């Protein structure tokens, strides 16, 4: 929870930095990367899993830096970057047919610490998210993990705001059903 609030406290990438990066300024590119890489990586972990997140995060930045001159400034830079990252993840999932459908299994055990319990809950949430359709997972992750508004998600995915709301509700319903199905709610 604290990590998510940290993300919101960061200053957005300013137009001057984007412009400098588009012109090839390596310091500006490094600043963009350092300010946004952790958020893109977390999005990738939620979308495709830990195993592919590093590679796809790097691919996202390669694509972003080669297309930086195309950034129009009509939205926040981060929204544009999330769109690239989400598209990269969705393309990967389609290309690899990488839908994980493993069952949620949490073996009963004596909990030794809160840390262990939190880790198990996080693993359970990751497994449940993996069962969602990639489009629903993207919307849920952008809202709950990245803290984007409906408007920002709509801009990121290129869909109407109303569609964001209905798909977010559907994602939440499906997650709840997954947890109920396996006796975790």
pLDDT of residue 167: 93
Q: Cα(166)–Cα(44) distance, rounded to whole angstroms?
A: 23
DSSP collapsed to 3 states, the chain: CHHHHHHHHCCCCCHHHHHHHHCCCHHHHHHHHHHHHHHHHHHHHHHHCHHHHHHHHHHHHHHHHHCHHHCCCCCCHHHHHHHHHHHHHHHHHHHHCCCCCCCCCCCCCCCCCHHHHHHHHHHHHHHHHHHCCHHHHHHHHHHHCCCCCHHHHHHHHCCCHHHHHHHHHHHHHHHHHHHHHCCCC
pLDDT of residue 49: 86
pLDDT of residue 160: 93
Tokens of residue 86, six digits: 């989400």
pLDDT of residue 68: 93
Domain 2-181: which topology?
Answer: Rna Polymerase Sigma Factor; Chain: A (1.10.1740)
Q: Digits of tens for pLDDT over the chain (185 positions)? A: 334 334 444 678 898 999 999 999 999 999 999 999 999 999 999 888 888 999 999 999 999 999 999 998 888 899 999 999 999 998 888 877 534 444 344 444 444 455 566 677 777 777 888 888 888 998 998 888 888 889 989 988 889 999 999 999 999 999 888 888 877 65
What pTM was computed for the model? 0.65
pLDDT of residue 9: 46
Task: Give Cα separations from 182 to 24, 35, 111 (angstroms).
Answer: 51, 38, 19
């Amino acid at each position: 929870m604290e990590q998510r609030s940290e993300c919101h406290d960061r200053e957005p990438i300013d137009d001057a930095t984007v412009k400098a990066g588009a012109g090839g300024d390596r310091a500006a590119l490094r600043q963009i990367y350092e300010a946004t890489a952790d958020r893109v990586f977390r999005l990738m972990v939620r979308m495709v899993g830990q195993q592919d997140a590093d590679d796809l995060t790097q691919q996202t930045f390669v694509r972003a830096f080669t297309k930086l001159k195309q950034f129009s400034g009509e939205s926040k830079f981060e929204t544009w970057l999330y769109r690239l990252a989400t598209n990269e993840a969705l393309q990967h999932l389609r290309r690899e047919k990488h839908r994980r459908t493993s069952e949620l299994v949490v073996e009963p055990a004596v909990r030794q610490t809160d840390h262990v319990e939190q880790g198990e809950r996080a693993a359970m949430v990751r497994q449940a998210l993996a069962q969602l359709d990639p489009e629903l997972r993207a919307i849920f992750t952008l809202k709950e993990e990245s803290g984007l508004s409906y408007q920002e998600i709509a801009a990121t995915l290129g869909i109407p705001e109303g569609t964001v709301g209905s798909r977010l509700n559907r994602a939440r319903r499906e997650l709840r059903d997954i947890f109920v199905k396996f006796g975790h709610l």
